[in-house]
Amino acid sequence: MNSLAIILGILFTGSFLTFSIDTFNRKLTGWTAFATLLIATIYFYTTGNDADFNLQVGGITLKWGLSAFRLFFINIVLILSILALLYSIEYMKGKARLGYFYASFIMTILGMLGVVISKDFVSLFIFWEIMTWSSFLLIIYNAYYKIKTEGLKYMVFSAIGAYAMLTAIVFIYHFYGTFDIATAIDKGVFSFENHAFIPIFLALGFAIKAAVMPFHVWAPSGYANSPMSFTSVFSGAMSKMGVFGLLLILSTYYASHTPGAYVFTQILAWMGGITAVMGTIYALIQNDAKKLLAYSSIAQLGYIVVALSTGTKLGVMAALFLAVLHAAFKGALFMVAGAVERQAGTTDMTKISGLIRKMPWTFFVALVSVISLAGVPPLGGFIGKWLLYEALITESHNYFLVIVIFFSSTAAFLYAYRFLFGLFLGQEEKETENIKEAPLTMLIPMVILALVSIITGAMPGFIFKPAAAAMQNIGFSSMDWQMSALSNVWGNNVDMSVIGSFISIVFVLIFAFLTLKGRKTTRKVGTKDISSSGELWQEGENWTFQQDFYKPFERAASPLYKLKMNKIWEDLGNALEAFFNFSRRIYTGNGQTYAMYVVGFLVLLILFRDYIFK
C-alpha cells in the first residue's frame, strides 16, 4: 500500500485512539498523541517516496504525491508538530477534555499534510476543510459550550475562503476539463490571461489562511486565545498552508512572467507590505504577551508574502527561508508565552515581570527567538531579511517597499524588547517569588527551536539546499547557494560562520570578564536593591515601566491606530444583515403573492427574451 495513505491512516486512527484513551487513562492521552505522530513521522522518513497514490471516487481521480516543493512544507509541519505535541504533554496537564484537544490536534496535522500532498484540487479542498474545522475546534477549546467571538470570526472568514476556493475549482473543471493541478497549470489556469478570477478566488482562500490584511481580523484573537501548544503550530505551520497555495498560484508567473500575473503580484506585494507594517504597529501597544505575538506573527507573514510576490530567485528563496525561520522563532515564542502562562498564571505584562532568575532557560529561548525575529545577526532571521532586502533592491527594484519593510523590521525590534522586558527583565514582584522553571518536556522543544535560529544563522545552507530544490518544482532554474556564505551582485561575500564565531567569542570574553572581575567583592542583589535620589523604596511600589510602555510612539502613530479593519468588517456585516432582513419581507407566506412573483418573472422573460435567449 502507498506510504502516504498509510501515514494518513496512522494519523486518522491515532486521533480516534487518543480520544478513546482519554476516557480510561487521562495520563496517557498526551503521550498517545505524541507517539502517533512520532510513528507516522518515522515511517514517512524511512520508507522513501512512493509513486503517486490514485484513488477513484465517483468518477473523480484523487491524486496524492510528493515533490521537493511539497516535501519542504511537509518538513515544517511534521517537525514543528512533533515538538508541539511533546510540549503539550505538560502544558495541558490537568486540563479538561484532553481527548477532544489531542484528537482535534492530530486531525489538524492530518489536514495540513493532506493539503501539501494533494495533486488534485478536490483532494486539496477536502483536506483544507478538515484542517479548518479541526483547528476551529481548538480555537474554541477554552469555550467548549459556547462559540466565542474569535471562533465565529475564524469560521466566517474560513467559510468565505472555502466558498471562493470551491467556486474556483468548479470553474477550473468547467473551462479546463480537469481537477489535476499539474494539468491545469500546463493549460494556463494561473496565467491570469484567461479567466483571471479563478486564481484570484483561490488566492483569496490562501490569503485568509496566511492572515494577509485586510483578511487578518480572525488571527489576533485566534492565535491569542487558542492553547499555546497549538498556537505554535497554528501560527508556525498552518499559516504556511496559505503560503504554499500562493506559491502554487504564482508558479506560472515564476516560469513565464505573464503580464496579467505581474499586476497581481504587485497588488499582493503591497498587501504584504501593509500587513507587515500594521501588524507591527499594533503589536507595539499590546499589554498581553500572547496578543503581542499574535500581531507579530501577522507582521512576519507579511514579509513572506512580499518576498514571494517579487517573482525573483532571491525573493522566493527569502520567502522559503523566512517560512522556516518563522516556524522556528514564532513557534518558540508562543511556547515561551505558554510556559509563562502555566508557571505564573498570566501573560499580562502589566501584572508579571522579572522572571529571568526564575525561568532562565525560558528566557534564553525568548532572547534567541526575539533576536532572530528582529533580523539581528548572526541568527537565522538576519539571513532571511538580507535576502529580502537584496531581492527588492537588486532584482525587483521596488525601493518604496524596501522603505516599508525596513520601517516594519526596525519597529519589530521595539516590540521584541517589550516582550523580553515585560516578562523577564522587569522588577521582581512578591507574587512571583515561588515561580519555578518550566518542566523538561516543555523546555526541550523550545530549546530545539531556538537552536534552529542559531544554526541557520551560521550555516543557512541547511535551508538553502531544500529550498533550492523546491524552487525548481515551481518554475525556477537551478539555484546556486553556499553552506555558510552570502553573496550579492556587487561581488561581496560574507561568511556567516565567521561572523557567528566572532560574535560568540566576544560574548564569551565579556561574560568571563564580568564574572571574574571583582569575583570576591561582588554581592548578589535583587532588582529592588536600588536607590533613587535618596528616596526610600516602599513595599508595593513599582520602579519599572509596565504600562504605556511606548506611549510616545502610540501618540505619534495615532492616525494609524484609527484604522480598524474590525470596524469595517462589522459595518459590512451589519449592512448585509439589514439587507437580508429587508429581503425576507418578500416571503410573506401568501400564495397569491408568490403567484404575482411568478407572473412578474414571466413578463420580464418575455420583455427581454431577445437579450436573454439570443
- Residue 604: band (very low, low, confident or very high) from pLDDT cuts 50, 70, 90: confident
243 in Cβ contact with 308 (< 8 Å): yes
Position 46 scores a pLDDT of 87
- The closest of 301, 321, 583 to 470, measured between CA atoms, is 321
Could you state, in order of their start, the residue ranges of all structural domains in the chain? 3-483, 566-612
pLDDT tens digits, one per residue of 26-60 = 788 889 999 999 999 999 888 866 667 888 777 78
Q: Determine the residue type at 432.
A: T
Alpha-carbon gap, residue 52 to 85, rounded angstroms: 29
pLDDT tens digits, one per residue of 136-147 = 888 888 765 455
**Cβ-based neighbours of 11, under 8 Å, separated by 6 or more:** 36, 37, 40, 106, 107, 109, 110, 113
460 burial (CB, 10 Å; 0-12 / 13-18 / 19+) is buried
Q: Is the pLDDT of residue 456 over 70?
A: yes
Alpha-carbon gap, residue 404 to 407, rounded angstroms: 5
- Residue 94: band (very low, low, confident or very high) from pLDDT cuts 50, 70, 90: confident
330 burial (CB, 10 Å; 0-12 / 13-18 / 19+) is buried
pLDDT tens digits, one per residue of 285-324 = 888 889 999 999 999 999 999 999 888 888 889 899 999 9
Q: Is the peptide bond before 552 cis (omega within 30 degrees of 0)?
A: no
- Number of residues in the chain: 614
- The closest of 89, 76, 86, 10 to 42, measured between CA atoms, is 10
- As a whole number, the mean pLDDT across the chain is 83
Q: Residue ranges of the alpha helices (H) in 483-526?
A: 496-516
Q: DSSP secondary-structure letter at 431?
A: G
Greatest alpha-carbon span in the chain: 102
Alpha-carbon gap, residue 343 to 326, rounded angstroms: 25
**Cβ-based neighbours of 185, under 8 Å, separated by 6 or more:** 251, 252
Alpha-carbon gap, residue 389 to 263, rounded angstroms: 21
Q: pTM of whole model > 0.75?
A: yes
- Residue 490: band (very low, low, confident or very high) from pLDDT cuts 50, 70, 90: very low
3-state secondary structure 322-338: HHHHHHHHHHHHHHHHH
Position 561 scores a pLDDT of 67
pLDDT tens digits, one per residue of 211-258 = 888 888 888 888 888 888 999 999 889 999 999 999 999 888 887 777
Residue 343's CB is within 10 A of a number of other CB atoms, namely: 20
- Residue 505: band (very low, low, confident or very high) from pLDDT cuts 50, 70, 90: confident
* For range 386-407, the mean pLDDT: 85
When mean pLDDT is compared across 63-67, 191-195, 591-595, the lowest value belongs to: 591-595
Backbone angles phi, psi at 120, to 5 degrees: -135, 155
Q: Is the pLDDT of residue 127 over 80?
A: yes
- The closest of 234, 211, 302 to 76, measured between CA atoms, is 234
Position 506 scores a pLDDT of 73
Cell of 96: 479538561
Of residues 52 and 107, more confidently modeled: 107
